[in-house]
Amino acid sequence: MISRDQCRQMIAARLGIDAEALTGEENLIEIGMESLMIMRLVNEWGRQGISVRYSELIEEPTLDGWWRQLSTAPSTGTEETAGKAD
């Protein structure tokens, strides 16, 4: 499991912004998060054993929304089931 701060830093790195500038309520898509960036994060989190889907993240594209998904996501334990996309 990753921390909320690690999640924020990973998102900010993809967006090329300072993590401290990223609030929990900002719409990540509106500030530049593209679908390919989201898929890369899904895959990266999957490699860390966190099973989250693109479709789940796109429903609420905010740091707070994504953290809710990540913090309640089942652990995969394997790369084979990680990073699923719809």
When pLDDT is cut at 50, 70 and 90, the band that residue 79 belongs to is very low
All structural domains of the chain, each given as residue ranges with its CATH number in brackets, are 4-72 (1.10.1200.10)
Q: Which residues contact 36 (CB under 8 A, 6 or more apart)?
A: none
Prediction pTM value: 0.83
The pLDDT, as a whole number, for residue 6 is: 96
Mean per-residue pLDDT for 66-85? 72
Mean per-residue pLDDT for 8-15? 97
Q: Which residues contact 15 (CB under 8 A, 6 or more apart)?
A: 22, 28, 31, 32, 33, 37
Q: What is the pLDDT of residues 32-42, one digit of tens each?
A: 999 999 999 99
